[in-house]
Structure 1
Amino acid sequence: MVRHNFSGLRAMALAASALLFAAPALAASPSSQGNHGVNPLPLTTYHFATIKGRRTFYREAGDPSAPTIVLLHGFPTSSHMYRDLIPLLSDRFHVIAPDYIGFGQSDAPSAKEFDYTFENLTDHVDGLLDQLGQKRYILYMQDYGGPIGFRLLTRHPDRVAGLVVQNANAYLEGVGDMPKQVFLPLWQGRDATTEGAARGFLAAQTTKFQYTVGARNEAAISPDNWAHDQALLDRPGTDAYQLDLLYDYRQNVALYDAWHAALRQHQPRTLIVWGNKDPFFIPAGAEAFRRDLPAARLVWLDAGHFVLDENAAQVAAEIKAEFALAP
């Protein structure tokens, strides 16, 4: 794989991106609109596709002829987490942000009707991208997006033009004490006691904590985040399949070595943007990627597990600097 020195171009792109982010606000002002009332913000559209008999929801924006970036969401959220990032990317990228089965606006069959595993969630995302004719894309992965994205990489390494890793772990040293104390007992023996501890991750206070932990200014974190997520978590039967996924996460850990081998072999262009105050996936997990991807660029964010409420503009600028100029 041919790699170029983009350091100077990155600096120019970051500066240009900062000006671009100011442009929509200026263009939307009454003085700049004149009598036309034109809204210059890129349009996000909302769609459903039937994949393997299940309705899968996705958000889409940008020119389909532009490079595609697929935004893979985390737990316990959905493509809703990318609502602010999508417009910031869609002037330069074709953006697709799906909801996994059981999440967001996608179908949510019961645990008796659907086998909730990361392999099956990946099958539906993979099927969606096939149906949309996507043969080359950048993957943005956060939290649960990591296990899905790395599966896509190992299935279709020729399709992955690059990776953006945002608090999506793939190394044992990246797991914080909090999840270790809950999930190791669950994986070693699933019973009423270990499930009881894991249920704490489905509680409203935990959902809010995931968004606010590490925030520079908690008042800048929209309560829409946890209100939206918790309403979906509290649907009847959702706890059963979310526990199935928390239990199945052990299969992701078992695949770590295979994912590392794929990263070493294919060396995808990689940007790591990591909230350095994340208690779930700690900074050691970000640094570990560079063992297998020595050319990866690592950007620390003064943030926690979810970073976009306070850092969407910077994340968008970093993505553009890394990938908009890439061949």
Structure 2
Amino acid sequence: MMKVSYRTRNVPDGEVFYREAGLAKAPVVLLLHGFPTSSHMFRDLIPKLATHYRVIAPDLPGFGLTRTPARGTFDYTFDNLAKVIGDFVDALDLHSYAIYIFDYGAPTGLRLALAHPERVTAIVSQNGNAYIEGLSDAWEPWQAYWREPAVERREACRDALSADVIRNFQYLHGAEPGLVSPDGYTLDIAYLARPGADEIQLDLILDYRSNVALYPAFQAYFRKHLPPLLAVWGKNDPFFIPPGAEAYRRDLPDARIQFLDAGHFALETHAQEIASLMLEFLQTNGIG
């Protein structure tokens, strides 16, 4: 087993916490987590990839242990999440990397790809959406807030931050409950209980509409640059449904699509399967 290091790196807008493992000169795999979690979600995957790759997993701004300015002095938008992670990538002098995109990590990572397509060697999308077909009916309260950003619409989204929804809808829905460690959702619930964290997350919920608006740009990037792509998808995800995975083939005909009998947080129950799929996919595409 490869040792995992826990580090921070200063960037113009704060201090990014990240996990790292593997040989310094190995090809880089950048792991980008989603809502409502942190790089902790990759705790089982990192050692499995680090035998062949330099694996780096930062906490996004507003999540985990990354420190960014207080709300009111820093706008919590997806453009700014991507800016901070882009500054982090530059600070580590990463000029070539494969990206694992999950949930909020998808629009963050795909913004990096739009800015520097020459850097991205491959994409692994684990329930990381880039197509309108991938959004389930569970998005309606958020979409109503996007259409009418009134106070009452904002409050209607607050339920998504509750401990019950995180545990039962985010983690346990569609998964075999006995295989889901309580550590992940317990930590996420604790992070969201920090003062001001809820308002940051509600800001990001509103700004998620900017990601949907960028879907055509993401898709144009796929068609122009043809990055190798593996979509490994928890098929029981209540948020990002299987048509979102299948849609990748519209722009990337050679995309590999693999469905798992898992929920939104597929790594909680299928880390070994995902690691094996990733290693085969990356090596087949000449990475590592």
**Do these two structures clear the TM 0.5 threshold for a shared fold by scoring above it?**
yes
For the 8 Å contact 2:234–2:259, the answer to whether it is kept is yes
Equivalent-residue separation in structure 2 for 1:325 and 1:168 (angstroms): 22
Task: Report the Cα distance in structure 1 between the residues aligned to 2:256 and 2:72, rounded to whole angstroms.
Answer: 43
CA distance in 2, matches of 1:309, 1:48: 25
Partner of residue 253, structure 1: 212
RMSD (Å) for aligned C-alpha atoms? 0.9
Output the TM-score relative to the length of structure 1.
Answer: 0.86
Scaled by the length of structure 2, the TM-score of the pair is 0.97
Alignment check: 8 A CA contact 2:86 2:112 kept:
yes
Aligned residue runs from structure 1 range 208-223, under 5 A: 208=167, 209-215=169-175, 217-223=176-182
In structure 2, how many angstroms separate the alpha carbons of the residues matched to 1:93 and 1:263?
24
Partner of 1:255, secondary structure, is helix
Which residue of the partner structure matches residue 287 of structure 1?
A: 246
AA at the equivalent of 1:66: A
- C-alpha distance in structure 2 between counterparts of 1:281 and 1:325, whole Å: 27
Of the candidates 207, 231, 248, which is equivalent to residue 272 of structure 1? Answer: 231
Match of 1:187 in 2: 146
CA distance in 1 between counterparts of 2:144 and 2:80 reads 24
Distance 1:93 1:195 in 2: 42
Matches within 5 A, 1:1-327: 41-179=1-139, 181-208=140-167, 209-215=169-175, 217-327=176-286
User: What is the CA–CA distance in structure 2 between the aligned matches of 1:169 and 1:182, rounded to whole Å?
Assistant: 18
Structure index of larger Rg:
1
User: Distance in 2 between the 1:322 and 1:168 partners?
Assistant: 17
CA contact (8 A) 1:110 1:241 kept: no
Q: Which runs of 5+ in 1 are unaligned?
A: 1-40
Mapped contact 1:44–1:60 kept (Cα < 8 A): yes
What SS class does the counterpart of residue 25 from structure 2 fall into? Answer: coil
Superposed displacement of residue 206, structure 1: 1.0
Name structure 2 gaps, 5 residues minimum: none
Percentage of matched positions with identical amino acids? 47
Shift of 1:192: 2.0
Task: List, as ranges, runs of 4+ consecutive aligned residues in structure 1 with deviation greater than 2 Å.
Answer: 324-327
User: Which letter maps to 2:238?
Assistant: P
Distance 2:18 2:144 in 1: 35
CA contact (8 A) 1:92 1:324 kept: no
Q: What residue identity is the alignment partner of 1:120?
A: N
Q: Give the whole-Å Cα distance in 2 for the aligned partners of 1:74 and 1:245.
A: 12
The answer to whether the Cα contact below 8 Å between 1:71 and 1:139 also exists between their aligned partners in 2 is: yes
**Equivalent residue, structure 2, for 1:36:** none
Aligned length: 285
Distance 1:187 1:311 in 2: 33
| Matched position secondary structure for 1:273 | strand
Partners in 1 of 2:231 and 2:143 — Cα distance? Answer: 26
